[in-house]
């Protein structure tokens, strides 16, 4: 394993686990690129802003891990948002990623519709998943929309890559609650692997010429390199993605050591909300005087609570006259 491909210096995998980090990597012999997300305090903060039922917390944790994997494709300045709208008990999830590593999110749900044993697919139901990227450098905005078909976020991501990006990709997500003498806390992890060959098509074996007459060779078969990489990645276990004692480098080494894996500098991930008093003041000023009067609470003030971080800010209506 090497830290930089250009250095070409092999070294043992680091035994030190890094929480709240994004680790890019490559398996050069197979033309594979990937990212490994390990979330600890950041995702625990997101999942404990509200008293979510455990199943909803796990689903939101998966969304946070997936957003980290996809949002980190923006290298420097920009924003990425994952949003679901669906007919399940969890009818909306929103997770924002501000490059290079700020994360926030929340879920809206109807607890009366949540049944014991419901999995992520049943909780979401059917609807759509929207992935939006905004780049600061050129004000460009891109959005991809894919159907949610009751099979969860990972499969929806696979569907998105197949239909929109046409990049062979594999996504694995995991969420767990850690119990220690210090208390309980949520953890999440995710693995994204993509096949990105330099050539449009890798060489395939030629027809040996001894097939029975009339047999047509199969077209569109998956490349052997991708099949191998996918098989290796699929051996990842959920507990490995969330184990605080297993370093990301050791996990990647265990998966790809036969081919050699190159890792790049980790990117720190933090839970951070972009809400501010100034933003809310400007928003309130955009309303008509009558609209603001309708917002006044029993205490005579206008209260605004951020849906993401639940910070409550109260304003004197007279300040807007």
The domain that holds 314 is classified in CATH as 3.90.1280.10
209 in a structural domain: no
pTM equals 0.88
Same domain, 117 and 235: yes
98 in a structural domain: yes
* Largest separation between any pair of C-alpha atoms in the chain: 88
155 in a structural domain: yes
For residue 250, give the nearest of 6, 11, 4 by alpha carbon.
11
Same domain, 248 and 111: yes
Same domain, 150 and 251: yes
32 in a structural domain: yes
Per-residue pLDDT tens listing for the chain (321 residues):
544 444 446 778 888 889 999 999 999 999 999 999 999 999 999 999 999 999 999 999 999 999 999 999 887 789 999 999 999 999 999 999 999 999 999 999 999 999 999 999 999 999 999 999 998 766 778 999 999 999 999 999 999 999 888 899 999 999 999 988 888 999 999 999 999 997 554 444 334 444 445 544 444 457 999 999 999 999 999 999 999 999 999 999 999 999 999 999 999 999 999 999 999 999 999 999 999 999 999 999 999 999 999 999 999 999 998
Establish whether the linkage from the previous residue to 157 is cis, with ω within 30° of 0: no
Same domain, 54 and 69: yes
11 in a structural domain: no
pLDDT of residue 141: 86
pLDDT of residue 135: 80
Same domain, 58 and 171: yes
The structural domain count of the chain equals 2
Same domain, 195 and 305: no
Ramachandran assignment for 55, one of left (phi > 0), alpha (psi -120 to 50 degrees), beta (any other): alpha
Name the residue range of residue 42's domain: 21-200+226-271
pLDDT of residue 179: 86
237 in a structural domain: yes
- Number of other CB atoms surrounding residue 105 within 10 Å: 25
Task: Name the CA radius of gyration of the chain, rounded.
Answer: 23
Same domain, 282 and 240: no
4 in a structural domain: no
262 in a structural domain: yes
The domain that holds 57 is classified in CATH as 3.55.30.10
Same domain, 165 and 303: no
Same domain, 178 and 138: yes
- Rounded to 10 degrees, the C-alpha dihedral 47/104/308/122 comes to -50
| Tokens representing residue 243 in the block | 């184990």
Same domain, 110 and 234: yes
**Distance (Å, whole) CA 87 – CA 58:** 18
Same domain, 41 and 171: yes
5-18 as b/e: b if 16+ CB within 10 A: eeeeeeeebbeebb
Same domain, 292 and 263: no
């Amino acid at each position: 394993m090497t830290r930089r491909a250009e250095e070409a210096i092999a070294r043992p995998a680091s035994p030190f686990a890094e929480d709240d980090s994004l680790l890019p990597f490559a398996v050069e012999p197979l033309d594979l690129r990937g990212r490994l997300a390990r979330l600890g305090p950041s995702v625990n903060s997101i999942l404990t802003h509200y008293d979510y039922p455990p199943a909803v917390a796990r689903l939101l944790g998966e969304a946070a891990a997936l957003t980290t994997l996809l949002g980190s494709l923006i290298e420097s300045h920009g924003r990425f948002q994952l949003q679901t709208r669906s007919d399940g008990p969890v009818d909306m999830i929103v997770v924002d990623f501000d490059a290079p590593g700020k994360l926030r999110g929340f879920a809206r749900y109807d607890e009366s519709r949540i049944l014991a044993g419901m999995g992520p697919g049943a909780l979401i139901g059917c609807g759509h998943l929207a992935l939006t990227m905004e780049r600061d450098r050129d004000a460009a905005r891109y959005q991809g929309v894919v159907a949610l078909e009751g099979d969860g976020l990972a499969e929806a991501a696979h569907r998105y890559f197949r239909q929109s990006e046409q990049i062979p990709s594999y996504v694995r997500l995991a969420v767990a609650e850690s119990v220690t003498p210090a208390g309980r806390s949520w953890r999440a992890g995710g693995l994204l692997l993509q096949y990105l060959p330099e050539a449009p098509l890798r060489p395939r074996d030629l027809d040996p010429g001894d097939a029975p007459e009339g047999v047509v060779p199969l077209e569109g078969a998956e490349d052997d390199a991708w099949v191998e990489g996918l098989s290796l990645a699929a051996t990842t276990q959920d507990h490995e993605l969330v184990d605080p004692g297993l370093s990301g480098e050791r996990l990647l080494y265990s998966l790809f050591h036969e081919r050699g894996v190159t890792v790049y500098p980790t990117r720190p991930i933090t839970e951070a909300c972009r809400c501010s008093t100034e933003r809310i003041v400007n928003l309130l000023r955009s309303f008509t005087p009558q609209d603001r009067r309708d917002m006044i609470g029993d205490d005579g003030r206008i209260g605004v609570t951020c849906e993401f971080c639940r910070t409550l800010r109260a304003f004197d209506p007279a300040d807007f006259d």
